[in-house]
Amino acid sequence: MDGMFVICIALTVAGSGYAVAAALAMRGFSLRRAQSAASFPSVTILKPLHGDEVGLHVNLTSFCCQAYPGAVQIVFGVQDPSDDAIGTVRRLMAEFSDRDLDLVIEPHERGPNPKIANLIGMQARIRHEVVVIADSDIAVTPDYLCKVVAALQRPRVGLVTCLYRGAPDAGLWARLASMAIDYHFLPNVLVGMKMGLARPCFGSTIALRAETLRSMGGFEAFVNHLADDNAMGERVRAMGMKVAIPPLLVAHACPKRSAADLLRHELRWARTVRAVRPAGYAGLALTYPLPFALVAGFFMGFGPPALALVGLAIACRIVLQVQVDQTLEVPARRLWLGPLRDLLSFAVYLAGFRVSVVTWRGDRYRVRADGSLAPLHHR
């Protein structure tokens, strides 16, 4: 018990210090340093879809409204001929009849990863020299393509990916989902990058040259991976090229309607992170000072020293959360939920060590030790 008590105090103090360091990393993050593109090569955007998600029309519209001087083709893909997303795509094709929009309906099974299987079906429609893949729940600003292409033109860059922030719908669970992104994911990635510990590549954006995609073996090379985005980044690095992250944040829609919806998504994400970086996932314990302060307080009988320890953890996390809100330029109306979000995130973190089955787009998969997927059930 004494050893556990000491460990909890140490993790509280270290985690509080980490929160302040993460706040400094957020403060140093600028969205105003993007370079201009030297030229504007033609671009194919691939949008794998599944269902008419909340906000799908708005998200897809943001890709149709790019202020990009070069040719842009957008390919939407579904696997089910009765997918509700088809109606949204047809509506977009009518609204943007002057744009090069295409729809692929490819029902053939091509492997356990549903997103990559969808992309394989879309692959033959790629016509241009730059390929951009972005998840269906991402929204972007009109200068997005210009900034991404500019980053891809830097020396030795083989792939560009983007950090993202949460964009919640109304409701408690949606707000908590966005807070997990803004208060945990984003600062943790920035600290990891600053320390040289993170090698991120995210499905929010993967931009690369078509010839690079072919050299990687096409999308078929990643169909068994749970973390397909990370696998693509690692493949590019293995080819001797760099993964660039421009000073650009895209918006990740957070339409969570229930606690179950929130937990399914976050448990899959936790299992993905653990599959990609097992040691790094274990080290995330340092980012949760409040739970350890509460455990230490329990051992201390919640007297004045224990309350001071809990207060330290909460205060340092609030410092980080205030800085995040200032950097993202959002009103600080959610700080009162910060302790609840921290405790919920810690519970998901612990569960991530035990989870071996995840739910993804209605289907269940067992995650093998190497991070590959084994389907358990299909509808």
Instruction: pLDDT band for 371, please (50, 70, 90 cuts).
Output: low
**pLDDT band at residue 36, thresholds of 50, 70 and 90?**
confident
Look at residues 48, 46, 77 and name the one whose alpha carbon lies nearest to residue 210.
46
pLDDT mean across residues, the chain: 90
pLDDT in tens, 100-148: 999 999 887 777 788 999 999 999 999 999 999 999 999 999 999 999 9
Q: At what angle do helices 259-276 and 172-180 cross, to 10 degrees?
A: 10
- Contacts (Cβ under 8 Å, ≥6 apart) of 92: 57, 60, 61, 64, 76, 101
The full 3-state SS of 192-213, as one line of letters, equals: HHHCCCCCCCCCCCEEEEHHHH
Instruction: State the architecture of 43-258 in CATH terms.
Output: Alpha-Beta Complex (3.90)
**Averaged over 317-323, what is the pLDDT?**
95
For residue 39, the model assigns a pLDDT of: 92
- CA 193 – CA 161 distance, rounded (Å): 13
- For residue range 273-303, list pLDDT tens digits in order: 888 788 888 999 999 999 999 999 888 888 8
pLDDT number for residue 113: 85
50 closest CA partner among 19, 84, 6: 84
Instruction: Output the pLDDT for position 284.
Output: 93
CA dist 340 to 5, 14, 280, 344, Å? 23, 20, 24, 6
Evaluated on CA atoms 291, 292, 297, 298, the torsion sign reads: positive
Q: How confident is the model at residue 261 (pLDDT cuts 50, 70, 90)?
A: confident
- Residue 379: its pLDDT value, please? 45
Q: Which of 28-37, 44-53, 159-168, 251-260 has the lowest mean pLDDT?
A: 28-37
Q: CA gyration radius for the chain?
A: 21
Q: Is the per-residue pLDDT at 218 higher than 90?
A: yes
Q: What is the pLDDT of residue 1?
A: 58
pLDDT digits (tens, 9 = 90+) for 139-195: 999 999 999 999 999 999 999 999 999 998 878 999 999 999 999 999 999 999 888
What pLDDT score was predicted for residue 377?
60
Residue 201 near residue 338 (C-beta atoms within 8 A)? no
Is the pLDDT confidence value at 227 over 80?
Answer: yes
Q: What is the mean pLDDT of residues 252-259?
A: 84
**19 pLDDT higher than 80:** yes
Task: Give pLDDT tens digits for 79-100.
Answer: 999 999 999 999 999 999 999 9
For the chain, give every domain's residue range: 2-28+269-377, 43-258
In one-letter notation, the amino acid at residue 324 is V
Q: How far apart are CA 223 and CA 202, in angstroms?
A: 16
Percentage of the residues of the chain whose pLDDT score is greater than 90: 65
